[in-house]
Structure 1
Amino acid sequence: MEQPQFPPHFLESLDQTPGFDHTDFIQVHQSSIPPTTIRINPNKKVSFSGAQQVPWCNEGFYLNERPSFTFDPLFHAGCYYVQEASSMFIDHIIKYIKPNFDDSIKVLDLCAAPGGKSTLLASALAEGDLLVANEIIKTRVPVLSDNLLKWGNANTVVTNNDAKDFARVPGFFDVILVDAPCSGSGMFRKDPDAMNEWSEANVNLCHQRQERILADVYPALKEDGYLIYSTCSYSMEENEQVLDWLCEIFGFETVQIPVDKTWGIVETQSEQHKAWGYRFYPDKVQGEGLFAACLIKREDSGNLPSYKRKFEKINTKEIEPLRKYIINANDYHYFKVNDDWLVIPEVHKDSMLTLQQYLYIKKSGVRIGKMAGKELIPDHELALSLIINQQEFLTTELSREQAISYLRRDNVDLQTNYKGWSLMTYEHHPLGWAKLLPNRINNYYPKEMRILAAPPNLP
């Protein structure tokens, strides 16, 4: 194969970068195919034949071949997420630092879309923890919300705010992940078109943008809280130099994350403050380019302002008919948005009020549905959530062909004598709702989430 046409001066710019091997780097880009990796939802387990585990993530697996994820109902059920293996290192970091906290924690994923690292965090956190997944770009928020919806956790909030908006909640978060916008050189093998966007000027521009984002979100991290910083760039300007800047300007202290030497990860230290960083090169690991680091904040963030809003007082008689649909129903706070009923874990009620006061929220907890008299009109979020009490609903198990028809919102060839709302399942994993009628079914799979591609020839 021909040598990849790297951007001018790109290779020369990396020659002094820690762990960079000029010859091996070129060879892996011209001769190897990026591995296909998925991360399993630990609450909706599935298995893949012959899959090998990603060393730094228990739920991550390399697949022998790339299946058609679009036409796998289990993908739409939120049983797994297709994610690049190197990015799963965040799981290793969060699980290393989490035991340092005595109580439940609040975590912010600042640049969260499309949701790979947010679903990873959701899996790593306990039910008593809170995850806020934020996306700055409004048009990218729906895909983030959809992926977290499929993952099923109730302790999750999706926001659409600029980094500077989080200064309104000083010291609110115990951990902040900033997977920063970058020049993208770590994706060259997976996405060769990214080479057209790379330039030394763009690297410098990204460096400035990264510093601005970090400075803006800094007040929201509590004293002794952790900042996880990552990019998919190889450039030292976007990585080690940013760590030195954080240590110099804000007094962050470095955290060394233990790594197994056999993993092939390159450990580095920044020039001035010797801050630890972790570099992933595709010629050394089974994955794409990544840089990650963890730091701890030592400065007091000041007092969090008190919230003024309150949840609308709800008559307990209104809530009572909803409880049977929720597992451990007493552990949740019930509230309404227009006619829709939603729930969040009771332990996050006060946090929710604070977030509502100061930030723009797009999704929170789990939307249960609407009450029409004594009947619940269930929401799609309830179907895919981890808190649904499936015993209270009729379920209809679908074949793969039927499931794909359902996910396309096509007519589903189904013979049944039952009537009413049914949870449509595939291999016993919920996909969504349908209403069964004597001579047809009404498909309630969300239009915006349906499969648009033509179906394959099924066996």
Structure 2
Amino acid sequence: MSDIVFPGKFIESISNAPGFDAQNFVETHQNLPAPTSIRINPSKYSGQQPGVEVPWCPEGFYLESRPSFTFDPLFHAGCYYVQEASSMFITHIYNSIRGEMDEPIRALDLCAAPGGKSTLLSSALNQDDLLVANEIIKTRVPILTDNLTRWGRSNTIVTNNDPRDYGRVKGFFDLILVDAPCSGSGMFRKEPEAMQEWSVDNVNLCQQRQERILADVYPALREDGYLIYSTCSYSEQENEQVLDWLCTEFGMESVRIPVEQDWGVVESQSTEHKAWGYRFYPGKVQGEGLFAACLRKTESSGETKAFKKKDQGKPDYKSIDLLKPYIKEPANYYFFKLNDDWLAIDKIHREDLETLQQYLYIKKSGVRLGSLAGKDLVPDHELAMSLMLDRDQIQQTELSREQAISYLRRDEIKDLDLSQKGWNLMCFEGHPLGWAKLLPNRVNNYYPKEMRILSTGS
């Protein structure tokens, strides 16, 4: 690899950071490529172990080489997510504290796009738990929604709100993850272009923005709830100093997370309050730069009362009965209509959904089933990807890899068996990719245009 020229004052600025070894750091960036890692979806993936397990995440694996994920139908089926290994440490934090939280759990991923940590939490949560994934930037919401759709869980809500909007739902969440916008130094090896954005002034601005985000969302965390804070920065200003600020400003209590010595994770403590943090340095861990910490809230910010919609008349049982055959255990779900589409979410989350609707801009709630045309369902892509779909009631067409790529491109699918007329779930190795309608002389491809493969490779 060619020599890397770090931004001026960068090495000097982190020279006193806990566990920092300048020589090892520089040599690693110059000589060792970033590893490739994926995290499987335990609700979908059933194949062989794809590589060497990431030590702090049982669902994470290092791959020997980087394949073309764009042309792997299993990726589009939601069988795995391509994620940097250090980021998977959030799983370990969650598993370390989950026994301390009453169930069911309401969890918020505040800065969620593109969805790596949201899908991670989704796998860790139980079906009775609720995940709310929020993205502040409107243009980044579609990729977050698409990735959570692929993951297939129904206990998920996606919102597009500023953190201050969450101050209205006081004491609502048991767990809040803030993977804060930062100066990005932890990504220098993987994304060298990030070096152009780094400066001492930018670090200062990021710290101020991180504190504003945390202050805005703080009221939404219930008393005794947990905050997981993370960045991809090595700067103490964005990490340990933010922990001290949280402890001083809000009286938060640091939570120590157990780590194995052979993982190579550096355990640090903040200067003032001795709050525990966990640092990942390339060369010490097989992964990129990360800082993560966990704190517990020790005071109450009040509690938002549950909202119940006024009686709007009897549900449309006739339409709902037409939907039920498509759903596993339909008695467990609340069916509701949005414009022409029918949606479903776990009944246990109905009240939470109706409460959040009063305060937040919701982009996705549960699973969009589709629209009814007479007695027939025009199924939505979300239903195809959902774990709630009762596939025993659905016609399915198995595709070869070449056919699957053509389907995902919305190209003509060659040599396709057209004997099963009507709606078909198009599958690869048994995993759903989406819908198509088979007609006597053609195929109507219903794979979403905005999700199709645009690359001309193979």
State TM-score, norm by structure 1. 0.98
Tell me, yes or no, if the aligned pair for 1:434 and 1:442 is still in contact at 8 Å: yes
Distance 2:412 2:441 in 1: 12
Kept in 1: contact 2:308–2:351 (CA 8 A): no
> How many angstroms does 1:283 deviate by?
1.1
Whether the 8 Å CA contact 2:50–2:61 is kept in 1: the answer is no
Q: Distance in 2 between matches of 1:376 and 1:311?
A: 27
Cα distance, 1:306 vs structure 2 = 4.3
Does residue 335 (structure 1) correspond to residue 356 (structure 2)? The answer is no
Range that drifts further, 313-322 or 349-358: 313-322
Q: Is the 8 A contact 1:311 1:353 kept in 2?
A: no
Tell me, yes or no, if the aligned pair for 1:40 and 1:46 is still in contact at 8 Å: no
Provide the residue aligned with 1:136 in structure 2.
Answer: 136
- The letter of the residue matching 2:402 is E
Deviation of residue 48 (structure 1)?
A: 5.8
Partner in structure 2 of residue 303 of structure 1: 303
Distance 1:312 1:149, change over 3 A: farther
2:418 to 416, 419, 422: 416
1:158-207 CA deviation, whole Å, 9 max, x = no partner?
00000000011000000000000000000000011111100000000000
Give the structure 2 partner of residue 124 of structure 1.
124
3-state SS in 2 of match to 1:242: helix
Query: What amino acid is the match of 1:76?
Result: H
The letter of the residue matching 1:373 is G
Change (3 A) 1:222 1:74: same
In structure 2, the partner of 1:325 is 326
User: Secondary structure in 2 aligned to 1:181?
Assistant: coil
Q: Describe the SS at the equivalent of 2:58.
A: coil
Post-superposition offset of 1:7: 0.3
SS of equivalent to 1:165:
helix
Shift of 1:2: 4.5
Aligned to 1:431: 433
Residues 315-339 of structure 1, C-alpha deviations (whole Å, 9 max, x = no match): 2222111111111110000000011
Could you say which residue in structure 2 is the equivalent of 1:352? Answer: 353
What is the deviation of 1:103? 1.8
How far the C-alpha of 1:415 sits from its partner, in A, is 2.6
Contact 1:309 1:357 in 2 (8 A): no
SS at match of 2:126: coil
* Closer/same/farther in 2, CA of residues 312 and 285 from structure 1, 3 Å limit: farther
| Distance (Å, rounded) in 1 between the aligned partners of 2:406 and 2:36 | 26
Aligned to 1:440: 442
Deviations 1:102-137, CA, capped at 9 Å, x for gaps: 320100000000000000000000000000000000
CA distance in 1, matches of 2:45, 2:272: 45
Q: Deviations over 1:32-85 (max 9, x none)?
A: 010000000000114466610000001000001111100000000000000000
Q: Distance in 2 between matches of 1:455 and 1:406?
A: 15
Give the secondary-structure state (helix, strand or coil) at the position aligned to 1:300.
coil
Q: Percent sequence identity over matched residues?
A: 66
Which residue of 1 is the match for residue 371 of structure 2? 370
Q: Is the 8 A contact 2:343 2:369 kept in 1?
A: yes
Evaluate the alpha carbon distance shift between residue 312 and residue 81 of structure 1 in structure 2; reply closer, same or farther with a 3 A threshold: farther
Aligned with 1:62: secondary structure? strand
- Distance in 2, matches of 1:32 and 1:222, equals 43
Q: Following superposition of structure 1 onto structure 2, how do residues 9-88 of structure 1 map, counting pairs within 5 Å?
A: 9-47=9-47, 51-88=51-88
CA distance in 2, matches of 1:312, 1:3: 67
Question: SS of 2:358's equivalent?
Answer: helix
Structure 2 residue ranges without an equivalent (≥5)? none
CA offsets 1:287-331 (integer angstroms, 9 cap, x no match):
000000000001112121442645854222221111111111100
Specify the code of the residue in structure 2 equivalent to 1:263. W
Aligned length: 456
The alpha-carbon deviation at position 362 of structure 1 amounts to 0.4
Indicate how the Cα distance of structure 1 residues 2 and 65 shifts in structure 2: closer, same or farther if over 3 A, else same: closer
1:101 aligns with 2:101: yes
Cα distance in 2, alignment partners of residues 101 and 25 from structure 1: 38
Q: Paired residue for 1:163?
A: 163
SS in 1 for 2:283: coil
Asked if 2 retains the 8 angstrom alpha-carbon contact of 1:179 and 1:229, the reply is yes
1:179 and 1:141 map into 2 onto residues whose CA distance is: 16
Change (3 A) 1:311 1:226: farther
Q: Which 4+ stretches in 1 moved above 6 angstroms?
A: none
Aligned amino acid, residue 410 of structure 2: R
C-alpha separation in 1, matches of 2:260 and 2:9: 33
Partner Cα distance (2:45, 2:221) in 1: 33
1:392 correspondence with 2:406: no
Match of 1:380 in 2: 381
Letter in 2 for 1:31: N
Return closer, same or farther for 1:282/1:310 CA change in 2, 3 Å cut-off: farther
Instruction: Sort the Cα spacing of 1:49 and 1:201 in 2 relative to 1 into closer, same or farther, 3 A.
Output: same
Gaps of 5+ in 1: none
Aligned positions of 1:159-238 closer than 5 A:
159-238=159-238
2:311 & 2:139 partners in 1: Cα distance? 29
CA distance in 1, matches of 2:280, 2:312: 49
Where 1:28 maps in the other structure, the secondary structure is helix
How far residue 96 of structure 1 moved from its aligned partner, in angstroms, is: 1.1
Alpha-carbon contact 2:105-2:174 (below 8 Å) kept: yes
Aligned 8 A contact 2:177 2:228 in 1 = yes
Q: The residue matched to 1:133 in structure 2 has which SS?
A: strand
Q: Does the aligned pair in 1 maintain the 2:161–2:361 contact within 8 Å? A: yes
CA RMSD between the two structures:
1.1
Contact preservation (8 Å) 2:101, 2:225: no
Q: What amino acid does structure 2 have at the position aligned with 1:416?
A: L
CA distance in 1, matches of 2:411, 2:311: 40
2:402 corresponds to which residue? 401
Contact 1:311–1:335, Cα closer than 8 Å, also in 2:
no
Structure 2 contact 306–351 (Cα < 8 Å) conserved? no
Tell whether the 8 Å contact from 1:280 to 1:288 is kept in structure 2 after alignment. yes
- Distance in 2 between the 1:312 and 1:81 partners? 41
Q: CA deviation at 1:146?
A: 0.2
Distance 2:80 2:115 in 1: 12
Give me the whole-angstrom Cα distance separating, in 1, the residues matched to 2:181 and 2:359: 24
- SS of the residue corresponding to residue 357 of structure 2 reads helix
Aligned equivalents of 2:137 and 2:309: distance in 1?
27
Q: Secondary structure at the match of 1:98?
A: helix
